[in-house]
Amino acid sequence: MTIVRTVCDRDKKSVAGKPILLCMRDSAGEGTGDSMNDQHGTNETAAFLGKATDLSAGSDGCLKPSFSEAARVWARIGCLGFGGPAGQIALMHREVVETRRWVPEDRFLHALNYCMLLPGPEAQQLAIYIGWLLHGTRGGLVAGIFFVLPGLCILLGLSTLYALYHQTGMLSAVFFGLKAAVLAIVVEALLRLARRALKTVSSRIIAALAFAALFFFSVPFPLVILVAGLFGLLAAGRSADAGLMPETTRSRTWPQTLALIGLWSCLWIAPLGLVVVLWGTQSVFFALHVFFSKMAVVTFGGAYAVLAYVAQQAVETHHWLRPGEMLDGLALAETTPGPLVLVLTFVAFMAAFRVPPPGLDPVVAGLVGGLVATWVTFVPCFALIFLGAPSVERLRGNRMAVAAMNAISAAVVGVILNLAVWFALHVLFASVQQSRLGPLVVCYPELASFDVSAALLALLAGSLLFVARLGVVGTLAVCAAGGLVLSML
């Protein structure tokens, strides 16, 4: 019988300023070696060949769970994933690194850095990545689906109740309080991101220009992101050391890559074919599929970054929502587990509920619309992990790519500032006007329509978040109760 013993000691070596674990694996007939040196390269090669890294017992001192055990933990994370991406990532770290020791610390951080480079919800992508490391493709699928499914089910139920009953007095009062809380939550997210992304003069200039382009000139959000990325590339290209780092890993062959691109592309657009067959190209489902497919590939910076553009298109261009309803949807998404970008499911539900195809019940149409938006939003997340890991991993050594992502991060701060101002105008004032002078578009409130109650609730929410440190869910609950109390006065 072979006995395997794993001994882990902290070495003086470090990665990115963090100590790493050097593990010696002893067994009958085997020598002792440094697993970080011997096995890490093998694991990296396997990952770039599209295979899951071997995290079995004895590899990096980690314990590999059974598939059923991992599925139960991913379901638990999906049900408890409140608090936005920061809270969800912290929960995953506690479950898979600290408590169960399924993944080593450095590997978790490596995966997180990768997911931060991608468009889409980084917390869900991190869950897919870790599930893939543990059990390959099926592990990634289960982790990603369970991360989204509880929140999706809850949000669809809440969207149905909202569509049918939101004009009743009690629910209107609750959402009045939630809107004020959402304003404070967006401001808190803006400050948190600004501290991380705006560390240089050039990044602050990019953020300011992004805000001006969106707020004063109504430049499309995807174009702002594209221009920021190009600026970062050009700025890095002027540096003498902006080339590629030495490549030490293998990637997939081109035929393998093209085959996987074809597979995931077919999965991504599959609902579109069904929609065209059943309801034609003039239905709201077709418009939702096309619109949210575009959103899925430009959601750098998370849900807050894309919400202003979605709100503008959904309210002003497509007339799917009324101005205040975008805030209601964000409040619902904040109170449910899972990625905050599920707010797009609410938008799609309301759009299809209001303009259902002939002969289709509005609630059924809303559910179909919500599922269509959810599908096209999250399928690319799986594709980027299963397909894009080799390419994006290699880009981590490309200084030009890193510079482009830094510029995009700075622009996202300006995007979220635009969202905060847009929300503030519609929360604190009952009437907002718009004036045009050539390409310049200026939105301004009617001062006489200032809502004192909304301002008081927004101040309360800010105090709870910044001073009392109550957290998002607690702040939403208190402000919802505050809205009810004010409606009774």
**Can you give the pLDDT at residue 467?**
94
Whether pTM > 0.85 for this model: the answer is no
CA distance 287 to 285: 5
Give one DSSP letter per residue of 108-121, joined into a string: HHHHHHHHHTSSS-
Q: Hey, how many other C-beta atoms are within 10 angstroms of the C-beta on 268? A: 18
Question: Which has the closest alpha carbon to 146: 17, 338, 413?
Answer: 338
DSSP 449: G
Rounded alpha-carbon distances, angstroms, from residue 302 to 186, 221, 241, 323, 462: 12, 13, 30, 21, 21
* Continuous segment of H or E residues that includes residue 82: none
CA distance 477 to 489: 19
pLDDT in tens, the chain (489 residues): 333 333 333 333 333 333 333 333 333 333 333 333 333 333 333 333 344 444 544 445 678 899 999 999 999 999 988 767 767 888 898 899 888 999 888 778 777 767 877 788 888 999 999 998 899 889 999 999 999 999 999 999 999 999 998 777 787 888 889 888 888 888 888 888 788 889 899 999 999 999 999 899 888 877 888 899 899 888 876 654 444 333 444 456 788 888 888 999 999 999 999 999 999 999 999 999 999 998 888 777 667 777 778 888 888 889 999 877 888 888 888 878 888 899 999 999 999 999 999 999 999 999 999 999 999 999 999 998 988 666 655 665 567 877 887 888 888 888 889 888 988 998 899 898 888 888 898 888 999 999 999 999 999 999 999 999 888 778 889 999 999 999 888
Give the tens place of pLDDT for each residue, 289-339: 999 998 888 777 667 777 778 888 888 889 999 877 888 888 888 878 888
**Can you give the pLDDT at residue 35?**
34
Give the tens place of pLDDT for each residue, 423-479: 899 889 989 888 888 889 888 899 999 999 999 999 999 999 999 988 877 888 999
